[in-house]
């Protein structure tokens, strides 16, 4: 298989039934190294077992279609927005391989820049392709007018749903009254949501936490303000702004929110097992589930959760598929960021495809030092070649990317 574009890696078909992309589309800034992304159903989607249809899901208690405003999702599993991770390349893979009902962009700061919509960083953050749809894009800010302008730009850039960030707990967000700091200002949330709803006809949603911290649990007030001012759904991370990601989520306040509003409530926070999903439904009555970190570590997660909750068979990707998907991801990332930066950006994703395989730790450590597409090809060949020949050394481990993470990612350096 060969991708368009000089810098792309060539991968042989190592056994999986990997279809050629049937159509490609240019994205990105014009220039000699243009990015090429597929359009329509393509690649690995064609070699995976068919997921259940929307019709067969309709009767399932846990997994079913979900309507948010005028937008109907095929299923109620959503990819959470993650700064630094959920770019178009990763989202496309999550959609193709996982089959989630909704993907989400990284947050986009509501900045008053002239020509904001044409600015390079904005374009990279909002880059999208038809094959990943429907797509949520997220506004990060506190000024109603600027958030509204940004919502309008996101709408024009191709968002199907526009979300407001009321959950980011990093210091920069707290100091500027954005992200989780908005949990202390329900009325301000109402004003922002009202302005955003005026600026776009797409559904507007709010992603919130249970409160700013354990002493300030304002989720009920923020939920009410959001819905009264036009929010079509709430994504609720069932922890407060000071809780670490490893702590248990609290389902009782989630249930209270669900009882108090008439729009869908989507649970977030460690919703990455069938058991967590069953509990969120049975104890809090939520309408959907949003998954962040674990989806980064396992692109097949959504598919397997759907299988487990609908009586299907779990899917264990064969070696050839892991290898092909890793190469595809690399090519997409290089298309988006160029070879030098793309190779660096890819470092954090690479071991996902090798997790649980012998020698994954050594592979990850070596990957952290590569700087070109050529080195990438060599390393992948080496690692998978050894596995195929049965001569791989090292433990079969599961590495975790977010082991030490305590916050909701970082606000991008230049925002
Ligand atoms: C690296 C990273 C970046 C994140 N970026 C965002 C973001 O841009 N917007 C947002 O609303 N939440 C963001 N989050 C929070 C996630 O969307 C999610 O709420 C959180 O990880 C809990 O879900 P999980 O347990 O499934 O990971 C981020 C989380 C991480 C780990």
Q: 35-38 and 24-27 as β-strands: parallel, antiparallel, unpaired?
A: antiparallel
What's the mean per-residue pLDDT of the chain? Answer: 84
State which ligand 1 atom lies nearest to the alpha carbon of 270: 25
> What are the boundaries of each domain within the chain?
48-310
Residue 94: its pLDDT value, please?
92
Please give the distance, rounded to the nearest whole angstrom, from the Cα atom of residue 32 to the centre of ligand 1: 35
Alpha-carbon distances of 208 from 189, 266, 286, 341, 386, rounded to whole Å: 10, 10, 15, 32, 46
Query: Which one from 147, 168, 178, 354 is the annotated catalytic residue?
Result: 168
User: Of all residues in the chain, what percent carry a pLDDT higher than 70?
Assistant: 82
φ/ψ of 163, rounded to 5, equals -110, 150
- The residue whose CA has the least distance to atom 1 of ligand 1 is 409
Residue 192: its pLDDT value, please?
98
Q: List, for residues 13-38, the tens digit of each pLDDT value.
A: 333 332 233 323 333 333 333 344 44
Q: List, for residues 243-268, the tens digit of each pLDDT value.
A: 776 778 999 999 999 999 999 999 99
Tell which one of 77, 79, 80 to mutate to probe ligand 1, the residue whose CB is within 8 A of the most ligand atoms. Answer: 80
**Domain 48-310 CATH assignment equals 3.40.50.1820:** no
Tell which one of 82, 180, 236 to mutate to probe ligand 1, the residue whose CB is within 8 A of the most ligand atoms. Answer: 82
CA angle 204, 134, 122 (to 5 degrees): 70
Within 13 Å and on the Cβ side, how many CA atoms surround 136?
Answer: 35
Please give the distance, rounded to the nearest whole angstrom, from the Cα atom of residue 185 to the centre of ligand 1: 21
- The residue whose CA has the least distance to atom 11 of ligand 1 is 165
Residue 227: its pLDDT value, please?
98
Q: List, for residues 284-324, the tens digit of each pLDDT value.
A: 999 999 999 988 868 899 999 999 999 988 888 889 998 99
Q: Report the pocket of ligand 1 as residue ranges, CB < 6 Å.
A: 80-85, 106-107, 138, 165, 167-168, 207, 237, 245, 268-272, 291-294, 402, 405, 408-409
Known catalytic membership, residue 78: no
Residue 92: its pLDDT value, please?
95
Please give the distance, rounded to the nearest whole angstrom, from the Cα atom of residue 408 to the centre of ligand 1: 5
């Amino acid at each position: 298989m060969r991708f368009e574009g000089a810098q792309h890696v060539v991968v042989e078909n190592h056994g999986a039934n990997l279809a050629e992309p049937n159509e490609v589309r240019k994205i990105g800034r014009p220039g000699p190294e243009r990015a090429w992304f597929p359009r329509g159903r393509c690649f690995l989607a064609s070699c995976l077992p068919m997921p259940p249809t929307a019709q067969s899901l309709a009767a399932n208690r846990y997994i079913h279609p979900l309507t948010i405003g005028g937008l109907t999702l095929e299923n109620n599993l959503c990819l959470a927005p993650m700064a630094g991770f959920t770019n178009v390349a990763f989202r496309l893979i999550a959609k193709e391989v996982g089959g989630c009902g909704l993907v989400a962009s990284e947050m986009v700061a509501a900045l008053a820049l002239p020509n904001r919509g044409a600015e390079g960083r904005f374009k990279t953050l909002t880059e999208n392709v038809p094959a990943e749809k429907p797509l949520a894009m997220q506004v990060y800010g506190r000024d109603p007018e600027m958030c509204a302008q940004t919502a309008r730009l996101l709408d024009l850039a191709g968002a199907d749903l526009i979300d407001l960030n009321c959950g980011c707990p990093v210091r920069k967000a707290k100091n500027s009254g954005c992200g989780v700091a908005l949990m202390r200002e329900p009325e301000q949330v109402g004003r922002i949501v009202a302005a955003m709803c005026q600026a776009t006809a797409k559904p507007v949603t709010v992603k919130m936490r249970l409160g700013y911290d354990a002493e300030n649990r304002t989720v009920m007030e923020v939920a009410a303000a959001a819905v009264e001012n036009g929010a079509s759904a709430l994504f609720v991370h069932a922890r407060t702004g000071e809780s670490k990601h490893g702590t248990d989520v609290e389902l009782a306040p989630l249930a209270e929110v669900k009882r108090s509003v008439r729009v869908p409530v989507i649970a977030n926070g460690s919703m990455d097992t069938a058991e967590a999903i069953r509990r969120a439904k049975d104890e809090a009555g939520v309408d959907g589930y949003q998954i962040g970190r674990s989806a980064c570590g396992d692109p097949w997660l959504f598919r397997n959760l759907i299988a487990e909750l609908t009586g299907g068979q779990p899917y264990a990707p064969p070696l050839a598929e892991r290898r092909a998907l890793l190469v595809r991801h690399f090519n997409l990332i290089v298309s988006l960021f160029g070879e030098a930066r793309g190779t660096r950006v890819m470092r954090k994703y690479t071991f996902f495809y090798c997790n649980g395989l012998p020698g994954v730790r050594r592979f990850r450590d070596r990957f952290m030092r590569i700087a070109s597409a050529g080195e990438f090809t060599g390393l992948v060949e080496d690692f998978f070649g050894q596995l195929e020949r049965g001569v791989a050394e090292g433990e079969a481990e599961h590495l975790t990317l977010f082991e030490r993470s305590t916050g909701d990612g970082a606000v991008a350096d230049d925002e």
